[in-house]
Amino acid sequence: MNKFTQVQKYMILISKSQIKLITSLHQKKYRDKLGLFVAEGPKVIKELLDAGIKIHSLFSTENFKGITQNFYIVTKREINKISYLKTANTSLAVFEIPSQRPISENGIIVVLDAVRDPGNLGTIIRICDWFGVTQLVCSLDTVDFYNPKVVQASMGSNSRVNVLYVSLREYIEKSNLPIYGGCLEGENVFSQSLPKDVVIVLGNEANGISKEITSLLTKKITIPQFGDQKKTESLNVATAAAIIISEFKRK
Amino acid sequence: MNKFTQVQKYMILISKSQIKLITSLHQKKYRDKLGLFVAEGPKVIKELLDAGIKIHSLFSTENFKGITQNFYIVTKREINKISYLKTANTSLAVFEIPSQRPISENGIIVVLDAVRDPGNLGTIIRICDWFGVTQLVCSLDTVDFYNPKVVQASMGSNSRVNVLYVSLREYIEKSNLPIYGGCLEGENVFSQSLPKDVVIVLGNEANGISKEITSLLTKKITIPQFGDQKKTESLNVATAAAIIISEFKRK
């Protein structure tokens, strides 16, 4: 009770313009226009701060170590009002979108062709981070890296992965690296010798890699299906990313 | 337009008791009591029919090949009323929960300790199916196999995976197989010789495998983290399942 009374002293109401700003960042066009995105929960916010992503404003029901400027202690009800989540966390922060760094031509570069599900992109970002892959190239119709659901699913890993949205055809045509692509009709990834410097293309949830991009691949690879029945239609794209990236990394 | 008029001839209203039944199956206690579960969309429904899962009733805005009994052509509005999805599909079916078959002591048995997220369980079921793993043992606090979100995420793979909900301690203590568990502090899974007949335990999203079950493991294994920074906290449990199960299968 004491703690509650203490917090109450600093409590302020979120202004209408702040609510409007935060709500607008749901949409990609406003994120692009304002160069801002939203992250929720102390864990994700802390990861982004540690990675040096610049903070714009922070709203929290509790104190937040190390942040003094543009920091607002708010009520649970206020957080609920601005949260994108079904169950609001204790804190919500607005961050500045970092400027795009160029993608360098070494190591593994993961390329996504029209991945649409935010959960899948977030999971792929975590997988890249886990395996030390810091370069991600996305087609223009891939879900936005700063979509709130992507930010939450990537659990702070987005602060360590450099992303570029670009025409894939142009990107691949300019690249000097071998272009491997995950395709159901590809060769067994487990029995290949795999290059260290490589572009790995993964495709859309329903349709895989587009025809146009498939025609540009150096090699098609697949994850072999085991079992007698072989009825599973496909693996989820994030599952495929996990197995394929781990296979390239360990070799 | 013609097609629409033709369908309309057979259109009937869903009865209140049908709506009540379908809505009640959202809850595990009614699924258990009635021995029924819901699946949506022609793809998932067809997979379950092909696998011989007995159908109770089917509601669809279109004809459905091979089904004549307890089949109701309904309007889009009617489907929206009974659907569990944000965007209703063209069809919804009620199926009978198959009776539990015993788990046999050979091959790979995947054991889940308190996996809570329906999307994760659904993805793990798909992974099992892809790699020909047909035996899944879940702790009593793992999300229900027939939860509607699990059914949708498993995309029909649940028809080919045999599941058992049980006290894990009892199950593991009775088993004669080596018990491997995915733990952050485990040994590198890529550099182990791995048994063909094995129990693989995977843990809760936030806390991993419980202390009690950890104490029963024969061996702890982990997926090595690459990269200089090593800041990624963990891999998603479905991602870990994909990499670990594929590693056991290929060896």
Task: Identify whether residues B229 and B112 lie together within a single domain.
Answer: yes
CA A117 – CA B123 distance, rounded (Å): 14
Confidence label for B50 from pLDDT (cuts 50, 70 and 90): confident
DSSP state of A106: S
CA A58 – CA A201 distance, rounded (Å): 37
pLDDT for the residue numbered B228: 63
B129 to chain A: closest CA residue: A232
Residue ending a domain, among B56, B74, B96, is: B96
Selected residue of A47, A190, A231 to mutate for chain B interface (largest B Cβ count, 10 A): A231
pLDDT tens-digit series, residues B156-202: 888 889 999 999 999 999 999 999 999 999 999 999 999 999 999 99
Residue ending a domain, among A96, A116, A146, is: A96
Q: Inspect the interface and report whether the beta carbons of B229 and A132 lie closer than 8 Å.
A: yes
Half-sphere exposure (Cβ direction) of B22: Cα atoms closer than 13 Å: 25
Using a CB-CB distance cutoff of 8 angstroms, which residues of chain B are in contact with residue A242?
235, 239, 242-243
Answer yes or no: is pLDDT of B149 > 90.
yes
pLDDT for the residue numbered A12: 63
3-state secondary structure B169-212: HHHHHHCCCCEEEEEEEEEEHHHCCCCCCEEEEECECCCECCHH
Confidence label for B2 from pLDDT (cuts 50, 70 and 90): very low
- CA of B232 to nearest chain A CA: how many angstroms apart? 6
For residue B101, is it within any domain?
Answer: no
Length of chain B: 251
For residue A102, is it within any domain?
Answer: no
Task: Identify whether residues A144 and A245 lie together within a single domain.
Answer: yes
For residue B102, is it within any domain?
Answer: no
Residue ending a domain, among A51, A70, A96, is: A96
In this prediction the pTM is: 0.88
Determine how β-strand A198-202 pairs with β-strand A108-112. Answer: parallel
Task: Identify whether residues B120 and B204 lie together within a single domain.
Answer: yes
Task: Identify whether residues B77 and B135 lie together within a single domain.
Answer: no
Give backbone dihedrals phi and psi of B112, rounded to 5 degrees, phi first: -110, 125
- Amino acid occupying residue B173: E
What percent of chain B is modeled with pLDDT above 70? 93
Residue B97 has a CB neighbour count (10 Å cut-off) of 15
Task: Identify whether residues B82 and B114 lie together within a single domain.
Answer: no
Of A128 and B66, the one with more pLDDT: A128
For residue B39, is it within any domain?
Answer: yes
CATH code of the domain covering residue B129: 3.40.1280.10
Task: Identify whether residues A79 and A171 lie together within a single domain.
Answer: no
Residues of B with CB under 8 A from a CB of A: 47, 50, 119, 123, 126-127, 129-134, 155-157, 160, 190, 223-229, 231-233, 235-236, 238-239, 242-243, 246, 249-250
Query: In the block, which residue shows the tokens 């894939």?
Result: A168
Confidence label for A149 from pLDDT (cuts 50, 70 and 90): very high
Task: Identify whether residues A59 and A170 lie together within a single domain.
Answer: no
Cβ-Cβ pairs closer than 8 A, A with B, add up to 98
Q: Which two tokens stand for residue B66?
A: 């091979």
Q: Inspect the interface and report whether the beta carbons of A227 and B157 lie closer than 8 Å.
A: no
Task: Identify whether residues B133 and B91 lie together within a single domain.
Answer: no
Give the count of domains, chain A.
2
Contacts 24+ apart (CB under 8 A), A57-66: A57/A18, A57/A93, A57/A94, A58/A91, A58/A92, A58/A93, A58/A94, A59/A14, A59/A18, A59/A91, A59/A92, A59/A93, A60/A90, A60/A91, A60/A92, A61/A7, A61/A90, A61/A91, A62/A7, A62/A90, A62/A91, A64/A91
Selected residue of B239, B245, B248 to mutate for chain A interface (largest A Cβ count, 10 A): B239
CA B94 – CA A196 distance, rounded (Å): 50
CA B107 – CA A133 distance, rounded (Å): 33
Task: Identify whether residues A85 and A139 lie together within a single domain.
Answer: no
For residue A158, is it left (φ>0), alpha (ψ between -120 and 50) or beta?
A: alpha
ipTM of the complex: 0.85
Answer yes or no: is pLDDT of B4 > 60.
no
Using a CB-CB distance cutoff of 8 angstroms, which residues of chain B are in contact with residue A133?
227
Using a CB-CB distance cutoff of 8 angstroms, which residues of chain A are in contact with residue B160?
229, 231-232
CA distance readout (Å), B127 to A225, B212, B233:
10, 26, 23
Q: What's the rounded mean pLDDT across residues A110-126?
A: 96
For residue B21, is it within any domain?
Answer: yes
Sign of CA dihedral B38, A117, A225, B226: negative
Task: Identify whether residues A92 and A203 lie together within a single domain.
Answer: no
For residue B50, is it within any domain?
Answer: yes
DSSP state of B231: -
Confidence label for B248 from pLDDT (cuts 50, 70 and 90): very high
Task: Identify whether residues A78 and A13 lie together within a single domain.
Answer: yes
Burial class, A65, CB count within 10 angstroms (exposed 0-12 / middle 13-18 / buried 19+): exposed
CATH code of the domain covering residue A63: 3.30.1330.30
Sheet with A36-40: strands ordered across:
A36-40, A91-96, A55-60, A71-73
For residue A244, is it within any domain?
Answer: yes
For residue B216, is it within any domain?
Answer: yes
Task: Identify whether residues B207 and B131 lie together within a single domain.
Answer: yes
Q: Which domain holds residue B228?
A: 108-250
Answer yes or no: is pLDDT of B11 > 70.
no
Answer yes or no: is pLDDT of A8 > 50.
no
Q: Inspect the interface and report whether the beta carbons of B129 and A238 lie closer than 8 Å.
A: no
Residues of A with CB under 8 A from a CB of B: 47, 50, 119, 123, 126-127, 129-134, 155-157, 160, 190, 223, 225-229, 231-233, 235-236, 238-239, 242-243, 246, 249-250
Q: What's the rounded mean pLDDT across residues B115-130?
A: 95
